[in-house]
Amino acid sequence: MTARGLLDWLDAPDPDRGIRVLRPDGTWTRHPYPELAAAAHAVARRLRAAGVRPGRAVALVLGSGPEFVAAFFGALLCGAVPAPLAPPATFQDDAAYRDGLTARLAVLRPAVILTGAETAGLGPPTTAAPVLDLAAAWPDGCAADAAPVGTPATALVQFTSGSSGPARAVVVSARALEANLAAVRQWLRMGPDDPTATWLPFHHDMGLVGCLLTPVTTGADLWVLRPEDFVRSPLAWLRCFGEHGARLTAAPAFGLAHVLRRVRPEALAGLDFGRWRAVITGAERIDPAILSGFVELLAPHGFRAASMLPAYGLAEATLAVTGVPLAEEPTTLRVDRSALRTGEPVRPAAPGTPPDRRLELVGCGGPLLPDGRIRIVDHRGEELPPGRVGEIVCAGSSIADGYLGAAAFDPTGLRTGDSGFLHEGRLYVLGRLGDSLKQRARTVFAEDLEAVLAGVAELRHRRPAVLLGALDGVDTAVAVVEGREGAWVATAVERLRRGLDGAEVVVVAGPSGLIRRTSSGKPRRRPMWEAFAAGTLGGRVVGGTAGTRRA
């Protein structure tokens, strides 16, 4: 497969391909690649006119659409470093959004902030950097620059999701980004004739690297829904594959769960998913019931279980680290939850093991990069053999340079902060080490307890979040649930207590929006825990025995 640089597609953009963006009326607006290339050159000229020098960061506060594409590649064309930031989201608190944006801009210190229609009502961010509005200049139709600057050594600054603390700015080199794009392209056997469809936001690594940069640099068609479009109508996303011929996508498990909640089998009449080749699933620990439910819903219309591709990745490794091989059905492993201790061997769940002690995990495949390597290490950093639980350490050419303003990462061994183990060459992910409790040498992860709550019928579709920590010196689990309380409270408390060893249990219920989530939909557990401990979380304690004064 021919290597492709980040800017190669601009040399001879294919007029027969491009991106299509869903309009509010359900129709699609097409932007062919020559139009996008001209717009990227126009952005590059505007940045040069604004005095942006090579190597400086350019903040992209833009939604998922043609303006983002032009801004990202326009910044690269003039030698600057694009840094995508989340635009305001529907139903988001404006004050909280502005605070978060201001904090990220303070870290980034961009030369210029590029905005569009999404930020028109907010006014300029609190920063000394000038703001350029792209909405009024699309496109100028000029020819390409006579002497564009080559791709900068640093090609991207992307922020982590902030699920376990403040979001951090990850510096990604052009070498690392191109290596990850090549690995994804090779993994999916992707060429220009393989359209992608996505609803993921472009400021997030999975949406940016996996679902925007890969198809654009490949020269393939791309169908784009904004996240709010998908929330309102997941069927519109499915139609990209069943009607329009898209073949590739990526989606976190909660997105697939949203499809299962909102799409009835009869709504799929007439759709054909026989050419849908890949659904990359990652970003959080994967519930096998969601995968099987998604396959069951779409299988009558030609969808294959082998199209589900569980994966593992993180912003600090650009994006993708491991993945299930194409056309291979996902594997699961049922283990004894009580035996999951760092450094100890994983024990299969024996027949008759009680449900609260069983845990079914989805395999996330092996390394995707040719030089990629996965190791599992103990508390001292010493490598553990396969089948033992520890911290996931990854290495390879797509490891990012480091956090902005901090020490560089070690490309031979990036400690991820995630726990897991290797089995028969596949990685199994347990959860974030920062979102767990240690109990008699056993590690209990928030994801474990959220899986337990998913077994409560009334909570199956509410996506509760579990917070773990020490409250007044006592190990405590706090289940945060959006919606009204009911008979489910007692069941939830009982099941959580069975999954813990003497820890206190608290259940907090409240209105929609009570659970704080990252821009990619992950629960922001650590900030919520801190708010609960300070008595500022909101909601009301409806079950349990601890922390009644704090909610």
pLDDT in tens, 119-168: 665 555 666 789 998 876 555 555 555 455 667 899 999 998 765 556 78
Indicate the domain borders of the chain. Answer: 8-250, 277-396+413-433, 454-544
Q: Are 9 and 27 a contacting pair, CB within 8 Å? A: no
Please write the tens of the pLDDT for every residue from 330-374.
999 999 887 888 888 999 998 888 876 788 999 999 999 999 999
Q: What backbone torsions phi and psi does residue 358 show, to the nearest 5 degrees?
A: -95, 145
Predicted confidence (pLDDT) at residue 1 exceeds the cutoff of 50: no
Distances (CA, A) of 526 to 178, 205, 480, 500, 532: 33, 21, 13, 19, 10
pTM of the model: 0.84
Assigned token pair, 483: 């919606």
- The answer to whether the beta carbons of residues 7 and 213 sit under 8 Å apart is no
Question: What is the pLDDT, as a whole number, of residue 3?
Answer: 59
Fold (topology level) of 277-396+413-433? Rossmann fold (3.40.50)
Q: Show the tokens assigned to 218.
A: 């490949």
Asked, colleague to colleague, whether 8-250 and 277-396+413-433 share their fold, the answer is: yes
CATH 3.30.300.30 corresponds to the domain 454-544: yes
Cβ-based neighbour number of residue 90 at 10 Å? 10
* DSSP letter assigned to residue 211: I
Angle between helices 234-242 and 253-262 (to 10 degrees): 100
- What is the rounded CA–CA span in Å between residue 529 and residue 220? 43
Cβ proximity of 230 and 259 under 8 Å: no
Select 8-250's CATH number: 3.40.50.10070, 3.30.70.600, 3.40.50.12780, 2.60.40.180: 3.40.50.12780
Among 217-231, 426-440, 471-485, the range scoring the smallest mean pLDDT is: 426-440
**For 418-463, how does the pLDDT look when each residue is reduced to its tens digit (9 = 90+)?**
889 999 999 999 887 667 776 655 667 888 788 888 888 888 778 8
The predicted pLDDT at position 124 comes to: 54
The contacts of residue 511 (CB under 8 Å, 6+ apart) are 482, 539
3-state secondary structure of 114: strand
Residue type (1 letter), 399 = I
| Average pLDDT of the segment spanning 230-249 | 97
Highest mean pLDDT: which range of 111-120, 140-149, 277-286: 277-286
Examine the pLDDT at 207 and tell me if it is beyond 90.
yes
Angle between helices 288-298 and 253-262 in degrees, nearest 10? 50
CA distance 219 to 6: 11
In the predicted structure, residue 56 carries a pLDDT above the cut 90: yes
**pLDDT, average across residues 216-235:** 96
Nearest Cα to Cα of residue 215 among 229, 202, 228, 227: 202
